[in-house]
Amino acid sequence: MQMKTIMTGLCCLALCCTPVFAQGGTLSKSDQAFLKMAAETDMTEAHMGQMAQDQASEQGVKDLGQALIQDHTKDYNTLSQLATKLGATIPNGIDASKVAPIRSLEHLKGKSFDRRFIHESVTGHEKVIAAYKKQSEHGDNADIKAYATQALPTLEDHLHKSEDLAKQGKMAS
């Protein structure tokens, strides 16, 4: 009798937990990969923005750095809430020593930092925008598609600001 009670209790527990397990498993691998990439991008861009605050010589580069800190921190918080809602997890830190754009900027200061930062910002935002557009059009989860669509204007604004700085001659050697 006691074994039957234990088994019944375990079955009830399993049934109660099934929605939690199912919720985390409903995301496709591509949606999960997108969430991870988006979180890593936010953390990387915010970190690079802080580097611009500390190492740039041009005010326009410092201003772009401040926008990156502000916007990508806000976006990471939005992404974190979405992941929690979906029962997914996202990274909560990066190993800056393993992130190529950060490594390329670590030892630079002044105008050489400005040129490299702008280059990294343009190329990085071009890649990320392409990934966000793909997700917004072809993602499996409606909430993640909506998030990607909503985030695109800010990413495009960062790209335009970076391109404007490049046109002003900040990338010239």
pLDDT single digits (tens) 81-111: 999 999 999 999 988 878 899 999 999 999 9
- In this predicted structure, what is the pLDDT of residue 104? 93
Residue type present at position 96: A
- In this predicted structure, what is the pLDDT of residue 2? 46
Residue of 111, 107, 124, 108 whose CA lies nearest to 168 = 111
Residue of 66, 77, 96, 95 whose CA lies nearest to 38 = 77
Q: Answer for the pair 53, 117: CB distance below 8 angstroms, yes or no.
A: no
In the chain, what is the greatest distance between 2 CA atoms, to the nearest angstrom?
82
Q: Answer for the pair 83, 24: CB distance below 8 angstroms, yes or no.
A: no
For 110, residues 6+ apart whose C-beta sits below 8 A from its C-beta are 55, 56, 57
Query: ∠ CA(87), CA(88), CA(91), 5° rounding?
Result: 145
- In this predicted structure, what is the pLDDT of residue 26? 82
- Ranges of residues in the chain with a pLDDT under 70 are 1-25, 170-173
For 59, residues 6+ apart whose C-beta sits below 8 A from its C-beta are none
- In this predicted structure, what is the pLDDT of residue 98? 83
- In this predicted structure, what is the pLDDT of residue 24? 46
The domain over range 27-170 is classified in CATH as 1.10.3720.10: no
Structure tokens at 95: 């190993």
Residue of 101, 109, 111, 116 whose CA lies nearest to 58 = 111
Q: At what angle do helices 110-138 and 29-55 cross, to 10 degrees?
A: 160
- In this predicted structure, what is the pLDDT of residue 142? 97
- In this predicted structure, what is the pLDDT of residue 25? 53
